[in-house]
């Protein structure tokens, strides 16, 4: 079954701890993205990567970090510096930076207590 | 500035009634616009794109450059249309990242 897989679906962490969200795709897409989805805020871009070993900050990158060591994987680390980490996180991919359609994962709901 | 505005957070209609979800954009070049939909417990997915001029699940959207709008319409709403709808604009520059509106929750009542 091809697509984008995010894991876990639900994640709980204590305040002050770093946590890493997984995103894997087997679509052979070059471009991958992390969005944060909050009620009434829509989707806000955290980080994106157009190619392996390269990534760029999005609109709300503070308190987050990413890596892109493999084409298939784009993990997101929510650090303790993120002031309001509790949110729904969506990973997406596109064939390339010029592609129209983005394909999304099922999302990870992170709750920091 | 590149921006997508969806003025309605929530739109509630009865089954069989027409529905129009509003989307306005701000973009200096030739825009490429999309509607994405997120049904309950499902992933966000592309519904339609203006360039295709297609009708998907009875929905259509026409790009109006004069009014900088890309409203989503359906003549007769169905209960299964209840979902979160996002209008998106493909931004400029080499990245062409998607810029999303804040979304409109459509509720179709029986």
Residue B95 has a pLDDT of: 72
Which residue, among A22, A6, A12, A15, has the nearest Cα to A103 in the 3D structure? Answer: A6
Cβ neighbors of B55 (< 8 A, separation 6 or more) are B48
- Specify the DSSP element, H or E, that contains B12: strand B10-14
- pLDDT for A99 equals 75
As a whole number, mean pLDDT of residues A71-84 equals: 94
Interchain contact B17–A (C-beta under 8 A)? no
Residue A1 pLDDT grade (very low, low, confident, very high; cuts 50, 70, 90): low
pLDDT in tens, A2-60: 699 999 999 999 988 999 999 999 999 999 999 999 988 889 999 999 999 999 999 99
Interface contact flag, B43 A102, Cβ < 8 Å: no
> What is the model's pLDDT at position B94?
66
CB nearest B32 (choices: A35, A100, A107): A100
Instruction: Tell me if A40 and B102 make a contact (CB, 8 A cut-off).
Output: yes
Distance CA A101, CA B23 (A): 18
Mutate one of A2, A42, A90 to test the B interface: name it (highest B CB count within 10 A): A42
Query: Residue A63 — left, alpha, or beta (φ > 0 → left; ψ -120 to 50 → alpha)?
Result: left
* Cα(B104)–Cα(B5) distance, integer angstroms: 10
How many pairs of residues across A and B have Cβ atoms under 8 Å apart? 46
Whether the CA torsion A25, A27, A31, A35 is positive or negative: it is: negative
Whether B34 sits inside 8 A of A100 (CB atoms) is: yes
- Which residues in chain A have their CB less than 8 angstroms from residue B86's CB? 42-43
Which pLDDT score is estimated for A12?
Answer: 93
Residue A96 has pLDDT above 90, yes or no: no
| A109: confidence class by pLDDT, cuts 50, 70, 90 | very high
Written as six digits, the tokens of B91 are 């931004």
Task: Flag residues of chain B having pLDDT under 70.
Answer: 93-94
Split at pLDDT 50, 70, 90, the class of A106 is very high
């Amino acid at each position: 079954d091809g697509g984008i897989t995010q894991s876990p679906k639900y994640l709980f962490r204590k305040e002050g701890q770093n946590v890493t969200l997984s995103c894997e795709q087997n679509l052979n897409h070059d471009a991958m993205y992390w969005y944060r989805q909050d009620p009434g805020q829509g989707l806000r871009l955290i980080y994106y990567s157009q190619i392996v070993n390269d990534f760029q900050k999005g609109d709300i990158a503070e308190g987050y970090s990413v890596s892109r060591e493999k084409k298939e994987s784009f993990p997101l680390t929510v650090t303790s510096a993120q002031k309001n980490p509790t949110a729904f996180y969506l990973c997406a991919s596109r064939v390339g930076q010029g592609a129209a359609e983005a394909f999304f994962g099922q999302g990870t709901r992170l709750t920091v207590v | 500035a590149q921006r997508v505005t969806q003025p309605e957070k929530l739109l509630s209609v009865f089954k069989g009634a027409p529905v129009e979800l509003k989307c306005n954009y701000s973009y200096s070049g030739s825009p490429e616009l999309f509607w994405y939909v997120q049904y309950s417990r499902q992933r966000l997915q592309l519904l339609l794109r203006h360039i295709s001029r297609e009708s998907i699940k009875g929905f259509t959207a026409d790009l109006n450059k004069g009014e900088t709008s890309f409203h989503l319409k359906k003549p007769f709403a169905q209960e299964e249309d209840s979902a979160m709808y996002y209008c998106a604009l493909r931004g400029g520059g080499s990245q062409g990242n998607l810029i999303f509106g804040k979304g409109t929750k459509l509720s179709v009542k029986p």
